[in-house]
Structure 1
Amino acid sequence: MIAGHGPLRRLKDGTAELHQEAELHVRILDADATLTDYRRYLAAMFGYHAPLEDALAGHEGLRRAGFDPARRRKSPLLVADLRALGEDPGALPPCVAVPPVTTLPRALGVAYVLEGATLGGRYILAKLPPQLAPLRGRATAFLAGYGAQTGACWRAFAAVVERVLVTPEAEAEAVAGARETFARLIDWLAAQTRAAGAALREAS
């Protein structure tokens, strides 16, 4: 799906180190991961996805290009998972430093990160540690992504990317958007980790 030297390959290569850094802040695959860790993961993902999806949904160029961000929202899945675990999504803080969505190439770079996460979510879902495995089917809608249609949805997005990013300048702008999306996600996850640590210290 990302073979060769086209724009998808450049997006992947151009964000690889940031992708790896973001994964360091997600510990739900750790052997000692807890339900609290999983709740915090969902809360952090909701805080980042919801405002960013709102920004993408208002981008008319994406829809004209054949990508409908409103139909690709993952935040409703996160709401369902959080509620299944007894959390109130409305009480969770949103990230106020999401990347700007301006030009179409930049918007596609932002969407690349969110759409790529559906592939990663399927992997995480299959690899949950034993203590979190009972959550499958109860509070894992976000990880399941588009379900059986995940591959088809990714290929449809990839087709839009290949069709739109036809110049080096457009590719570079998309990579810049994707990199900023990862960078701000990393900052957001780090802030959530610090907040959780502070709360633990106050409670002890």
Structure 2
Amino acid sequence: MNPVCEPLRRLKDDTAALHLRAELHVRILDADATLTDYRDYLAAMLGYHAPLEDLLGAHDGLGAAGFDAPRRRRAPMLAADLCALSDDPREVPRCTALPAVTSLARALGVAYVLEGSTLGGRYILARLPPALAGLRGHATAFLTGHGPETGARWRDFAAIVARELNTPAAEAEAVAGARETFERLIDWLAPRTRAAGAALREAS
């Protein structure tokens, strides 16, 4: 097996169920998704990404390992998308229950979730339902991510992971960080999903 793939494969396999649970709270690929759903999605992602990216940016170990956190930030893209829809990103609540980054391995696990979402964004962008398809190129900077550089940046991240997660203990720490990141994201999204469901029930 390619050594670059081994720790990434474990991260993917050991977080797969949580990844699916998180996706249950995102409605923008549903056939009946609306612009309101998309606005809610952008706001929820900004509220989680912005403080998490700040956390990673302040982690000295990540920078020393070659992870350029400022260059990889996507919160500004979310803010730009909200502005394009005439929403004020400054009014979006920020998540305060963030995963721990007490070691480089845990921080890489956290970063894995954010970096993996750059690949997922391109998947979502290509499959937006009809009501949202017209937003492409107008309010989809976050989903577009790093554009043609997305693949290269993911490979650079994979190389860092392969180099730094070079023991079973480091891999286990990274998995713990990634799992906690998904768990905190689910906790962040769940109340918003329940609120949207209640609003739909009231409307009907």
TM-score scaled by length of structure 2? 0.94
Q: Does 1:125 align with 2:125?
A: yes
**Is the contact between residue 3 and residue 9 of structure 1 (CA under 8 Å) also seen in structure 2?**
no
CA deviations on 1:11-60 (whole Å, 9 max, x unpaired) are 00010000111111111011000000000000000000000001000001
Decide which moves more: 25-34 or 189-198.
189-198
Q: Does 1:78 align with 2:78?
A: yes
- The residue correspondences of 1:87-98 to structure 2 (distance < 5 A) are 87-98=87-98
- The residue correspondences of 1:14-33 to structure 2 (distance < 5 A) are 14-33=14-33
CA deviations on 1:42-82 (whole Å, 9 max, x unpaired) are 00000000000010000010011011111111100000000
Which amino acid counterpart does residue 155 of structure 2 have in structure 1? R
Match of 1:136, SS state, is coil
Structure 2 CA distance, aligned partners of 1:72 and 1:120? 15
Structure 1 CA distance, aligned partners of 2:92 and 2:58? 23
Partner of 2:182: 182
Which amino acid counterpart does residue 171 of structure 2 have in structure 1? E
Structure 1 CA distance, aligned partners of 2:45 and 2:98? 12
Structure 2 CA distance, aligned partners of 1:143 and 1:57? 21
Q: How far did residue 195 of structure 1 move?
A: 3.5
Q: Does 1:54 align with 2:58?
A: no
Match of 1:132, SS state, is helix
Match of 1:6, SS state, is helix
**Is the contact between residue 109 and residue 177 of structure 2 (CA under 8 Å) also seen in structure 1?**
yes
Percent identity over the alignment is: 73
Structure 1 CA distance, aligned partners of 2:79 and 2:5? 37
- The residue correspondences of 1:1-204 to structure 2 (distance < 5 A) are 6-197=6-197
Stretches of structure 2 that go unaligned for 5 or more consecutive residues are none
**Is the contact between residue 5 and residue 158 of structure 2 (CA under 8 Å) also seen in structure 1?**
no
Stretches of structure 1 that go unaligned for 5 or more consecutive residues are none
Which amino acid counterpart does residue 140 of structure 1 have in structure 2? T
Structure 2 CA distance, aligned partners of 1:34 and 1:163? 43
Aligned residue pairs total 203
**Is the contact between residue 119 and residue 150 of structure 1 (CA under 8 Å) also seen in structure 2?**
yes
Q: How far did residue 191 of structure 1 move?
A: 1.6
Q: How far did residue 164 of structure 1 move?
A: 0.2
Which amino acid counterpart does residue 118 of structure 1 have in structure 2? T
Which amino acid counterpart does residue 79 of structure 1 have in structure 2? A
Q: How far did residue 196 of structure 1 move?
A: 3.7
Q: How far did residue 92 of structure 1 move?
A: 1.0
Q: How far did residue 96 of structure 1 move?
A: 1.1
